[in-house]
Chain A
Amino acid sequence: MYLPPKSSPHTTNKSSTQNLMLRVILATLPAFLVSSYFFGIGPAINVALCIIFAVSIEAFIVSLRKRPVSYALKDGSVIVTAVLLGLALPPFSSWWLVLIAIGFAVIFGKHLFGGLGQNPFNPAMLGYVVVLVSFPVAMTSWPAPQTVASSDALAHVFLGTPWLDAWSHATVLDTLKNNHSLTLHELWQDYPYSGWISSNSSEWINLAFLLGGLYLLYKRVFTWHAPVAMLLALALMSLIFWNGSGSASNGSPLFHLFSGATMLGAFFIITDPVSSATSNQGRFIFGLGVGVLVYIIRAWGGYPDAIAFSVLLMNLCAPTIDYFTRPRTYGQRKAKRGFNPGDN
C-alpha cells in the first residue's frame, strides 16, 4: 500500500492568512460605523471605490506577472489595504483621487516589490502620502460632520461638482497648528465641533479604532509591542513638550492620543507585519519611533497629521532594527546582533 510522504509536522492549527485578514477587516467595522454616523455615505463610497479599484488593479498586475490570479487574490491582503486606505482618505474624495491613491498603493507599494510579503513600505500609507503631497487641498478638505447630503456628495465624487466651503471643516490638528493668537480655551470655544478631548468626530472614531484594535490584540492577530510602544511614545512626547494651554500650545497627551489617525495608525497600520520590524523587541522599537516622529511632525513639522510619514520613515528603519534586535537563541551565550552574519 503506497502512502504519500510528507515532512513533519503532520498537523497544523486552524489559523490561516485569509482568517487573519478577515479579522482585521472585521475589526475596522466599529470605526467604519462611527465614521458613517458622522460623514454619511462618505466612508462607504471611499471604501467601496478602494476595494473595487484595488482588486481590479491587483488582478491586472498579477496576470501581467503571469501568476494565478485567484490564488493571489484569495489571501485578501489587498482588501485590507483598500479598507484601511478608504478609511484614511477624507470622506467624499473624488474617484480619481481614490484611484491614484489605491493604484499607487497596490502597484508601487506592493507588486513592484514582489507582492504580498515583500513590500518594504506599508502600501496604504504609501498611497496616502502620494496623494497628500500631490493634492494637499483635496486631502485636507474634511467635510463638516453631518452637513453633506448624499446626492451632493455623489455628484462631487463622480461628476466633479465643486466642493462648497460650507461643507468643509478644519480638523482639530489643523486648527491647533494654525492657531497663533488664542488660548486653547478660547480656541475650542470657537471651534464648532469640539468634543471632550478633541473634535467630536475625531475622538469617537479614535475610540472605535481602539476597540477594533483591542479585539485584534485579544485574538492574537498581533502582539502588543508596536501599538503600546507607539501610544506610549506619543503620550510621553506630548507630556514632555506640553507647554500649557497658551496660544503656542502643542496640545495635551490625551488630545494627541485621540486626534487624527492615532489609533488607526497604532492598531491597523504599524501592526502590518510585513513592513514592520520582526522581533518583539524590534516591534517595540518600531512603535516607539513612529510615536516620536508623529509628535515631532505634528508639533514642529509642516503637516498637521503625521501617521503616514512617520510609518514610512520607520519602515525604512525596520531592516536595521531587525539586525540589532535578534533574540538570544536557546543555548547561545548571547544574542548575535549587528549587520554582518556571525558578528557578535
Chain B
Amino acid sequence: MTHWPLDKFHGGIHPPENKSQSNQGNIQYPPLPKRLIVPVLQHAGQPAEPCVEIGNYVYKGQLIAQNMTAISASVHAPSSGTVTAIGPAPYPHQSGEPYLAIEIHTDGLDLWQEPTPEINPSTLTSAEIFHIIQQSGIVGLGGAGFPTAIKLSGKIMSGIDSLIINGTECEPYITADDLLMRERADKILAGVDILVQLTRPKNVLIATEDNKPEALASMQAALGSRAYQVVSIPTLYPSGGERQLIKILTGQEVPSGSLPIDLGIICQNVGTAEAIYNAVVLGRPLISRVTTLTGTALKQPMNVECLLGTPIEELLEFAGLDKQQLSKVIVGGPMMGFSLGNLAAPVIKTTNCLIAGTAQEFPSPEAALPCIRCGECEQVCPSNLLPQQLLFFAMGEQHEQLKAYNLPDCIECGACAYVCSSKIPLVQYYRAAKADIRQHEQKMAKAEHAKQRYELRQERLRLEEEQKAAERQARNERLARVKAAQEQAAKQEAQQAQSTGSISDDELKHLKIAASMAQVALRKAEKQLALHDTEALQTQVASLKDAAKQAQDALAAAQAQLAQSWATSSPAAAPDEALKKAKIQLAMRRAAVKKAEKAETDEASLNSLRQALQQAQQQLEQLNQTHAKASSTENTSTEQKTAAVPISDAMKKAKIELAMRRAALKKAEKAGASADELTQLQLALSEAEKNLAQVSSPNNPG
C-alpha cells in the first residue's frame, strides 16, 4: 500500500534541475554508426563471455557474448555486420581503462536474424518469461545496471508485496525517463503487466517526481483500467534512490545490509519495463536505449534512442558538439556520474545521460578549506549519517569508527559534498575509505588464513614428533619384548639343557651387542646434546638412556640367568666342561665389570654386573664343590626342576597380563584416546613389563 500521506526521507537537496534543455523535443534516432564497440561488461557483476569470432557475420540481435556466471547479463549485436576485433577497447568507466569489447563493422542493412511473431505474454508461463528476460540481456536501465533476471528470481516465487516502477529521475540534467514516459507510456505499462504476471504483487506503484507533469499525464492516460497507482512525489534529490523511494512510498526502510526484496518490494526502472516488453512481446533483446545528450557544449541537447556500442563522440557530434567549449563529459548525472576520460568509449546499457559541459558549467573544484563542522552536510544526508564526523574518521583512517558511524550505509549521492561550504570532496573521501576498509578486510582475511596455515603446520610438526616418539617407544618395547623372549628362551633352554648345562651363547652375544649399541647411541646423543641443547635432544637422550639401561639390564639378567642355569644344571654330565665355562664366564664378567667401571656406566647396571660377577664366582665355587662331591649331588637337579614350575606359572600370568595391557593400549591408540588415558595405559604396560621381568628373573623367588 502507498503510505499516505507520502513519507519523507531525511535531508535531500534541490540542485538546479537543468532538465528543460533536453526535454523539449521528441526522442531522436541518430544514424547507424559504421563501427560499434560492444563491451562484454555493460552491467553490474561479471562480464559475459564472447561467443563469436573475428570475421563472423552477425545479425542484429544475435547473441555475441553469453552470461556464464550467476550475476551477469548476455550481450547481443546491436546491428548486423562483421566482427572485426575482440579485445580491449575504450570503455566508459571512471578509471578510463580499456575493457574487453567486440567490435562490429556494420553493413548498413540492420538485418534481424529472422522475423519473430508478436507474442501475447499471457500465453507464457512464468518460467518462460523469466527465461526470455534472462536471455535478452536486460539490466536495470536507471544507471546501476543490475541484471534484471536476478532481481526477479529467488524470493519472488511466493508473490511480492509491492512492485515499484521508478520514473523519478531525480538527478539534474537527465530526461531520458521523462521522454520515455511521455512517448511510450503504453509500452512501459505493457512491460509492467509482464512484471505483474511474473511477480504477482499486491500493489503496483509507478512513481515520478512532480517536475514531470507531461510524463505523469501520459502515464495516467495510458493506464486504462489497470489498478496501478501512478504517484507524483515532491521533487527532491535523491528521491529516485531505491531506498529513498521505498521510504517515501511505503514508509518502510530497507534494513542496512538487506535488499528491498527482503521487505517484499521490487523496484524497476521505467526503461527496464519497456525493455522487458520489447524482449517478451517483440522478441528483441536489449540492444539500444534512450540516452539524454545535454550540456551547454551541445547546440541541440536532446534525447536519443541509440544503439549500444555507439561511440560517445559520434552521439555528441550528432547533438552539435562544440569542441572548443567542451571542458568535460559526464556520464550519468552531475551528482553521481563520472567524468569520461576518452570520448571514443561507447554507450553501454547503463549510460542514461551524457553531459558535455563547458568550463563555466562545471568549473574546476576550488581548493578545499578545513571543515568547520557547520553541519550542513548532516542536514541534507538522505541516510541520516554524520558526514562531518565521517570525514574526520576517514582522514584519520579510523576504520572501526567509520563502521560504527555507518559508513557502509552511505549511498554516495553527493548531497553532502554539494552543500559543503568548505568545498571538501566528501564523497571522494568516503569512496577511498570504503575501498580502504575493503582492502584492509581482505588483508585481514589473508593474514587469518596464513595464521591458520601456520598453526596447522605447527600441529602437523607436533604430531610428527609425537609419532616419532611413539615409534621410539615402540622400538624400545620391541627390544624389551625380544629381551623377555630371549630370557624365556634362555630359561627354557636352561631348563631343557639342565643336564648339558648349555645356555645359548648366541643370545648372550646378541644382548651384548644390543647393549653396546645402545651405549654408543647414547654417547652420540649426549655429544649432540652438548653441542645443541634443545628440548627434543634432551628427551631423545633421556629415552636413549632408558634404552641403554634396559639393554644393560637385559644383558645382566641374561647373564644372571645363565649363571643360575649353570648353578642349577647338573654338573655330573660334563663337570669339567661346566667348570671351564664357569671360569671363562667369571673372567668375562670381571672384564665386563671393569669395562663398565671405566665407561662410567650408571650405578644400577654396574651393580647388576657386579652381582652377576658375584654369582659367577659363587657358581664357580659351587661347581668346584659339586665337582668334588661328584655323584652325591644328582638329586639337586630334580629339586631345582620342581622349584622352577611355580616360577614359570607366575611368568605365564605376567605375560598374559602384559599382552592384555598391550592390547588395551593399542586399542586406545586406535580409538584416539586422550593423551592422559594413553599415558596411563602406557604406565600400566610398563608396570606389567616390570612384573614380567621380575618374575622371569631367576633371582626372584616369586
Contact = CB atoms under 8 A, between A and B. Distances in A.
Interface of A: 1-13, 15-17, 19-20, 71, 75, 77, 115-118, 220-223, 273-274, 276, 278-280, 283, 322, 326-333, 336, 340-343
A343 B404 CA distance: 8
B327 interface: yes
Given A7-B427, A342-B403, A329 B383 contact: yes
Nearest to B355: A10
Given A6-B365, A12-B423, A341 B400 contact: yes
Contacts of B405: 326, 336, 341
Main secondary structure of the interface of A (DSSP, over half): loop
Interface of B: 9-10, 13, 15-16, 94, 96, 172, 243, 247, 253-258, 323, 326-330, 332, 334-343, 357, 362, 364-367, 369-376, 378-379, 382-386, 388-389, 398, 400-401, 403-406, 409, 412, 414, 417-423, 425, 427-428, 431
Nearest to B400: A341
Contacts of B367: 71
B386 A279 contact: yes
Contacts of A341: 398, 400-401, 403-405
A341 to B, nearest CB: 3
Nearest to A343: B404
Given A8-B336, A11-B334, A15-B376, A330 B421 contact: no
B374 A9 contact: no
Contact of A273 (B338, B364, B374): B374
Contact of B421 (A15, A115, A329, A333): A15
B158 to A, nearest CB: 24
A71 B41 CA distance: 45
Contacts of A115: 370
Contacts of A71: 367
Given A3-B327, A341-B403, A19 B339 contact: no
A342 B403 CA distance: 8
Contact of A331 (B243, B339, B378, B419): B243
Contact of A4 (B328, B330, B385): B328
A271 B369 CA distance: 19
Contacts of B256: 329-332
- Shortest 7 CB-CB distances between A and B: which pairs? A9-B414, A341-B404, A117-B370, A331-B256, A7-B428, A329-B406, A15-B421
7 contacts: A4-B364, A5-B94, A7-B425, A9-B427, A10-B357, A12-B420, A330-B409
Given A9-B417, A223-B379, A330 B10 contact: yes
Contacts of B16: 11
A75 B371 CA distance: 11
A101 to B, nearest CB: 22
Contact of B9 (A5, A7, A77, A330): A330
A330 to B, nearest CB: 4
Contacts of B428: 7
A278 B384 contact: no
Contact of A118 (B247, B370, B379, B383): B370
A274 B421 CA distance: 14
Given A17-B372, A341-B398, 12 more contacts: A3-B339, A6-B339, A7-B431, A10-B330, A10-B339, A12-B418, A116-B369, A280-B379, A322-B389, A330-B243, A332-B406, A342-B404
A278 B373 contact: yes
Contacts of A7: 338, 425, 427-428, 431
Nearest to B382: A330
A225 to B, nearest CB: 10
Contact of B418 (A11, A322, A336): A11
Contact of B362 (A11, A221, A278, A329): A11
A330 B417 contact: no
A3 B340 contact: yes
Given A3-B328, A10-B328, A327 B255 contact: no
Contacts of A1: 323, 326, 342-343
A153 B323 CA distance: 66
B79 to A, nearest CB: 26
B400 A330 contact: no
A219 B400 CA distance: 36
Contact of B337 (A8, A15, A222): A8
A167 B116 CA distance: 101
A220 B373 CA distance: 14
Given A273-B375, A322-B389, A10 B243 contact: no
A10 B362 contact: yes
Looking at A11, A276, A331, which has the most chain B CB atoms within 10 Å of its CB?
A11
A9 B335 contact: yes
Given A15-B419, A330-B10, A331-B243, A278 B386 contact: yes
A273 B384 CA distance: 18
B328 A327 contact: no
Contacts of B335: 8-11
A187 B375 CA distance: 45
Contacts of B257: 331
A116 B96 CA distance: 37
Nearest to B416: A9
B521 to A, nearest CB: 60
Contacts of A322: 389
A327 B367 CA distance: 30
A17 B414 contact: no
A222 B369 CA distance: 18
B386 A330 contact: no
B503 to A, nearest CB: 82
Contacts of A12: 365, 417-420, 423
A115 B181 CA distance: 53
B374 A75 contact: no
B334 A10 contact: yes
A6 B368 CA distance: 14
A324 to B, nearest CB: 13
A251 to B, nearest CB: 33
Contact of B372 (A19, A273, A283): A273
B373 A273 contact: yes
Looking at A12, A17, A77, which has the most chain B CB atoms within 10 Å of its CB?
A12
A70 to B, nearest CB: 11
Contacts of A77: 372
Contacts of B327: 3
A331 B256 CA distance: 5
Given A7-B425, A8-B335, A278 B328 contact: no
B341 A5 contact: yes
A268 to B, nearest CB: 14
Contacts of A3: 326-329, 339-341, 343
A12 to B, nearest CB: 5
A9 B336 contact: yes
A124 B482 CA distance: 98
A15 to B, nearest CB: 4
B369 A75 contact: yes
Nearest to A328: B384
A336 B418 CA distance: 26
A333 B384 contact: no
A192 B337 CA distance: 68
Contacts of A328: 384
A75 B398 CA distance: 28
Contacts of B343: 1, 3
B331 to A, nearest CB: 10
B373 A274 contact: yes
Contacts of B431: 7
A252 B340 CA distance: 65
Given A5-B339, A278-B375, A278-B388, A17 B369 contact: yes
Contacts of B383: 329-331
B107 to A, nearest CB: 29
B379 A13 contact: no
Contacts of B376: 15, 220
Looking at B374, B412, B414, B420, which has the most chain A CB atoms within 10 Å of its CB?
B374
A12 B54 CA distance: 47
A115 B366 CA distance: 20
B372 A274 contact: yes
